[in-house]
Structure 1
Amino acid sequence: MWPSIRRYGTVLPLRRDCFIVCLAGFLTGCMRVGPDFQRQHEAWSEHWSSASIEQVTQQAAQPDVRQWWQVFGDANLEQLIAEADAGNGDLKIAGLRVLEARAQLGIALAGRYPQVQQASAAVLASARKRSDGFNTRSGVYLQYGADFTIGWELDFWGRFARAIESADAAFFAAQANRDAALVLLHAQVADTYFTLRTAEARLRIARENAQLQKRSYEITQKLFKAGETDELDLQQARTQYLGTLSSIPDLESQIVLARHALSVLMGRPPGPLPELDVQSGKEGVVPLVDRAVLQGVPADLLLRRPDVRAAEYQMAAQSALIGVAKADLYPSVSLLGSLVWSASSLTGSPNTLAFAAGPSVTWNVFDHGRITNNVRVQDARLQQLTVAYQNTVREAAREADDAATALIAALQRDSILNDAQAAARRSLTLANTVYREGYSDFQRVLDAQRALFAQQDAYIVNRSNAVGSLVALYKALGGGWTTRQPLVDAATRQQMQQRTDWGGMLNETNAPAANAPSEGTSP
């Protein structure tokens, strides 16, 4: 069965006589035209895996894939993600769309009950003139009237039931889309945070190398003034020092931009980030984590990805709309009733009370193909969503495999680049030694300095690539779809309650993530 909204504590305020409710269930449960939803999983997706993913993942209980960022053990990152959950604008919009879909479901549920329930009353003033040949009388008289009309289209063909089924699926699609927004937000915060840490590390390296090259430049300056070396060594040392120095403003700018991006992700204007001071000693630290911790096989995680679930719910919603369209091909049977009362202030005028009731049948017999083509339109849209769903699953698999492959490459390069920077550091020491002893020219020192700076920077950049690939792998497998934040924050809830009567809907906390829709089910 489709998961029903009532399972999460929301019950529409239906105050109806028990007999009417039972009668509604009997009359609306005759049949449902249109297809029952059938899941479209391809055979490969049920047992999908890859050698790359198996190489960089492990099965363990902690950390939970829903809070995968704990694998880094960084309190700063955890605080940033918590703040982003509470303040991110895109996430708030996704939560409000869940409320919108919930209200749309309430509209669809109203179709189970009489569609026309109309009461009206009128008071009319009329002027009359009477003459019997001898006397002429005139005056103004009042006429009163009131009536109540009810019309109930019986759901013989499942038009309203299919509409409810579609709205129910759309509601859970909105929830899945919010979960997808959470997955994206958490990955963006982690990516931006480690971009900041990478820029800090590269800035530290640039400053250290600039200081080292400055000393060499000052030495060549003194030697040139003393006539012990030519101007070429001086200008080469100066060129290298200034080139390294010029990279510092760009790295400082990257740090500022990353801070701005984090501020916006947390729903703030660009400004200071006190959250970065929660855990000291993390500035410029780029961790290396060589495994993604999972609590399920990749195939299951792939199909549980929020965007994949949302695509499947959209298919289910569209499948039900085919039944809504097909119901127009059949006659519509309604029960009509009317109670009318009328009276007048004219002396001698009677009061009347009339009641009329009976069935009504309407059938669009000659529609010139309008209904049939509308069914075809809905079916074509379903097929489009089916292909889109299959594309979403394939793209998700590609993203996961690509991220795992990139992580493997970054891990392989890490040890190589670490050795390379150690060798570059030793080369610089040797170059300085042989230069001071007069066994080589200054060019070898410059080359060694340049190699050291390049290898140290490449090592940090590769570390950043490894972290980015790990984050991308968790994101591709749909990790991080939960939060403790409600659908609507307190300030927004208060603002909306002042405008509109939302009943108890705004007080609901997050509904648990829905499972994928079942085959051939209805709400």
Structure 2
Amino acid sequence: MRVKGKRLNHTPRKKVTSCLAVGVIVCGAFSLSACAPLGPNYQDPDVDWLARWQPELYGQASVAADALDLSTWWQRFNDPVLDDLIIKAQHQNPGLKIAGLRILESRAVLGVASGLQYPQVQQLSASGAYVGQQRGGGEYRGFTSSEAAFNLGWEMDFWGRFRRGVESADAAYFASVTNHRDAQVLLAAQVASLYYGIKTTMQRIEIAQNNVTLQQRSYEITEQLYERGQDSELDLQQAKSQYLATEATIPGLQLILQQQRNALGAVLARAPNDLPELDAIDSALPQLSVLSIREIPAQLLLRRPDVRSAAWQAAAQSAQVGIAQADLYPSLSLFGTIGWSGDSLEATNDVVSLAAGPSLSWNIFNYGRLKNNVRAQDARLQQALEGYRARVLNAAREIDDAASRVAQTQASQKILDDSLVAAERSLAIATRRYQEGYSDFQRVLDAQARTFRQSDSTITNHGDHIAAIISLYRALGGGWQQATITTLVPEPTRELMAQRTDWGDLLEAPLNNPPAVGSPVATSQEQGASP
């Protein structure tokens, strides 16, 4: 074989021998890379008390096969305005958009980790030069030289460093998906709570205004009687004081109402006072029946998005322990270089060079740095496992607290309703007896004050009962739907990102969803999960 007139001195025997050696090295490296990766294989930690925890939800919930899907629990309220607000919030809320963009970020990070399993060095280099020389006799001579080379380096995944890296990135990706679901849960509960908080405050303002009208009428009558000398100034001042005190409660309630409207506007990414959806609503609050769910709370608890996020975060950290342990052992790499160099001088021939072989590197003297990194990663794993258990415990507490609040507010409601009926009857009797001259005006004032307090307490408790039911739905993990790439990030945003950066198919490819409750990493690997 000749290259521009220069013979390459390779005999067939040597060529065969070197090819066999390289083949043996490559096959051996691939077989070594198939070894089990270092580090622990993650499993969800056991929560021993959970199997025995079967709350009755204090009679506020029943398990029914035909129960309403918790993913759209707000439809139980039969309020089209609320349905519309939640749909708009799911498209417009800034926090939910950020959670969706973090999924795109984690897809890209997973692509980085996956790419490290392939040759890490793929370098093409080329250079050229022109050399000119002026001789003493005025003769000018010049020549050109150039060279090109392609370098390839591949660290074999003998200890599972890169496989654990993919495992960690895969778990982090699923954590970003469950974080997005948790953001949906919190968003739906926040919109519903603010919406019915607004209606509750509107009804409280109406009650206050009605009582102001009633008490103002009493004050005017008392004033007329006083001017005719038929009543004392004491009755006049007491009526005036009570009337003004009730009227003074309205500005505070109107402030609360404005703050609630602004909070709802912020959730919808609106400017203050930009909520035309609320212009035509009334203050009526729904009467809700017993909560019906499909499964027992203990099963729902483990599938809460925030609990799954804690599990995936622990799984991602578990893989980091294996990555750190791989640094304690030698790394085996294959390298190869093919190059060419030549010039324009006729006296020299072009040269083609080829080099290939294995490379071994080992950080022997690291002064405990690598071992302590393993220990640090293991401590972080244990923190993540304890964080998971704490998240489960907190979820159970939230379910129990919400259920208890539902039960207590419902029990209080019947008492308050009966008390309001009695207060209204007392006011009617006191007013008639005063008009007939059988009692003084103080009895009327006292009855008016009690009626106002009982009316306000009754509607406030009704609003608290609805808020408790919303909290129970949130505690059970309801209110999220499986996202798609089109619902994850709005199309205008994706178009802007595509114009700014080459995203390949990551802005269009379907999303892989996390496996069911169990062993997250093992299940995702069995399913070949990828973003």
Q: TM-score, normalization: structure 2?
A: 0.89
Q: Do 1:217 and 1:241's aligned partners in 2 also have CA atoms closer than 8 Å?
A: yes
1:276-287 to 2 correspondence within 5 Å? 276=278, 283-287=282-286
- Residue-by-residue CA offset, 1:444-480 (whole Å, 9 max, x unaligned): 0000000000000000000111111111111111111
Q: Compared with structure 1, are the counterparts of its residues 508 and 187 closer, same or farther at alpha carbon in structure 2 (3 Å cutoff)?
A: farther
* 1:326 has 2:325 as partner: yes
User: Would you say the 8 A contact 1:313–1:517 is kept in 2?
Assistant: no
2:364 alignment counterpart: 365
Residue 108 of structure 1 corresponds to 113
Structure 1 residue 259 and structure 2 residue 258: aligned?
Answer: no
1:384-437 CA-to-partner distances (Å, cap 9, x unmatched) read 111111111101111110111111110001111001111110000000011111
1:478-493 equivalences under 5 Å are 478-482=477-481, 486-493=487-494
Does 2:101 match 1:96?
Answer: yes
Number of the residue aligned with 1:18 = none
Give ranges in structure 2 of 5+ residues lacking alignment: 1-25, 526-531
- The answer for the alignment partner of 1:227 in structure 2 is 229
What CA distance in whole angstroms lies between the structure 1 residues aligned with 2:222 and 2:30?
95
CA drift at 1:515: 2.3
Partner of 2:158, secondary structure, is coil
What SS class does the counterpart of residue 337 from structure 2 fall into? strand
Distance between the aligned counterparts of 1:130 and 1:327, measured in 2?
61
Query: Secondary structure at the residue paired with 1:486?
Result: helix
**Structure 2 match to 1:58:** 62
Q: Following the alignment from structure 1 to structure 2, what is the Cα–Cα distance between the partners of residues 169 and 271?
A: 42
Q: How many residues align?
A: 496
Q: Residue type matched to 1:111 in 2?
A: L
* Secondary structure of 2:87 counterpart: helix
Q: Which residue of 2 aligns with 1:343?
A: 342
Q: Structure 1, residues 357-391: CA drift from partner, whole Å, max 9, x if none?
A: 00011111111111111100100000011111111
**AA partner of residue 141 (structure 2):** G
Q: Partner of 1:32 in structure 2?
A: 37
Identify the residue that residue 179 of structure 2 maps to in structure 1: 177
Partner amino acid, structure 1, of 2:59: Q
Alpha-carbon distance between aligned partners in 2 of 1:483 and 1:217, rounded to the nearest angstrom: 60
Please give the alpha-carbon distance, in whole angstroms, between the structure 2 residues aligned to 1:26 and 1:197. Answer: 68
Provide structure 1 residue ranges, at least 5 long, that are not aligned to the other structure.
1-20
Distance 1:136 1:228 in 2: 135
- Residue 62 of structure 2 is aligned to residue 86 of structure 1: no
**TM alignment of 1:184-263, pairs within 5 A:** 184-263=186-265
The 10-residue stretch of structure 1 (402-411 or 267-276) with the greater mean CA deviation from structure 2: 267-276
Provide the rounded CA distance (Å) in 2 between the counterparts of 1:66 and 1:439: 61
8 Å contact from structure 2 (residues 402, 472) kept in 1: yes
Letter paired with 1:218: E
Distance 1:519 1:257 in 2: 43
Please give the TM-score of this superposition, normalised by the length of structure 1: 0.91
Answer yes or no: is the 8 Å Cα contact 2:301–2:477 preserved in 1.
yes
Give distance in 1, aligned partners of 2:357 and 2:58.
Answer: 69
Asked if structure 2 preserves the Cα contact closer than 8 Å seen for 1:128 and 1:141, the reply is: no
Q: 1:315 to 1:517 in 2, by over 3 A?
A: farther
Q: What RMSD, in angstroms, separates the aligned Cα atoms of the two structures?
A: 2.1
> Corresponding residue for 1:119?
124
Preserved CA contact (<8 Å) 1:486 1:509 = no
CA distance in 2, matches of 1:440, 1:510: 76
2:209 match: secondary structure: helix
Give 1:346 shift.
Answer: 2.1
Matched letter for residue 167 of structure 2: E
Structure 1 residues 146, 99: CA separation in 2 closer, same or farther (over 3 Å shift)? same
2-side partners of 1:93 and 1:398: how far apart?
28
Correspondence list, 1:375-454, <5 A: 375-454=374-453
Report the residue type matching 1:58 in the other structure.
S
Residue aligned with 2:270, SS: coil
Aligned equivalents of 1:464, 1:430: Cα separation in 2: 30
Instruction: Please say if residues 308 and 392 of structure 1, whose CA atoms lie closer than 8 Å, have aligned partners that are also in contact.
Output: yes
Match of 1:44 in 2: 49
Q: State the distance in 1 between where 2:250 and 2:383 align.
A: 51
Partner in structure 1 of residue 502 of structure 2: 501
Q: Are residues 512 and 116 of structure 1, via their aligned partners in 2, closer, same or farther at CA, if it must alter by over 3 Å?
A: closer
Cα distance in 2 between the residues matched to 1:129 and 1:353: 31
CA distance in 1, matches of 2:231, 2:91: 64
